[in-house]
Amino acid sequence: AISVTDLEAHIIYSNPAFSALTGYSRHELKGSNHNLLASQQTPKSRYQAMWGALSSKRHWSGRLINRRKDGSLYLAEVTVTPVLNELHQVAYYLGMHRDISEHYALEQRLKNQKALLESVLNAAPMAVAVLDDQHHILLDNLAYKTLRSDLQGAEPLSVLELAEAQESMAPPLVALTIRGQTRWFSRTRQPMESLNEEAANYFGQGKRAYTLLLIQDQTE
């Protein structure tokens, strides 16, 4: 949605996308102050920052909670740019904004799902980690982090693999010395797959291989 306003934010021009987004006709918008979209939900400090930048002839970008004609709210990603005349004075303000409500909701949903997943993993009675195809740790739980700390910062997977390599044959349990005491651990790997989110795989069926690593203290 695009608008052009005078120095007091009265709308001189708006494009059809502006009307489609806000519910106001172009006739209703022309001459109206841009604050007709204000919802009273955006902190005043956000508007102060915007006008501070514009008064210094700098563009401003940020997020505002706007209100449509029907009263519904939406989160707008806004960019306002001063348009200068030949005397290098501000003549107009060019505004562009779009509705990112669904994008924001998706971000929050992903954060909530990640927090829930971390809570579940941290409640597990064993060390859990997810590895990519290069054996890099992508996700680990509190028990895994604690084990890493007990090993003085060494990666538990690497320590276990080194200990196994020193055995003549792969043992069901691996002995590690932690704080001067011998502890016995089992290690389980389970393959996992997920769809590749890279754009180059949009038309394909690209998948990425992961490994779920479970390490359990079997000493007792």
Residue 37 has what DSSP assignment?
A: G
Q: What is the pTM of this model?
A: 0.67
Contact criterion met (CB below 8 Å) for 163 and 178: no
- List, as one string, the DSSP characters of 103-159: HHHHHHHHHHHHHHHHHHHHHSSSEEEEE-TT--EEEE-HHHHHHHHHTTT--HHHH
| pLDDT given at position 205 | 67
Residue with the two structure tokens 């290098």: 88
| pLDDT given at position 43 | 95
Q: What are the pLDDT tens digits along the chain (220 aa)? A: 999 999 999 999 999 999 999 999 999 999 999 999 999 999 999 999 999 999 999 999 999 999 999 999 999 999 999 999 999 999 999 999 999 999 999 999 999 998 998 899 899 889 999 988 888 888 899 999 999 999 988 889 888 888 887 766 557 888 888 888 999 999 888 998 877 777 776 676 677 888 999 999 999 9
Give the containing element (helix H, strand E) for 27.
helix 26-29
Residues 6 or more apart in contact with residue 171 via CB below 8 angstroms: 164
| pLDDT given at position 170 | 59
Q: Which two three-digit tokens encode residue 195?
A: 């769809």
E strand intervals along the chain: 2-5, 11-14, 60-67, 73-84, 90-99, 127-131, 137-140, 174-178, 181-195, 207-217
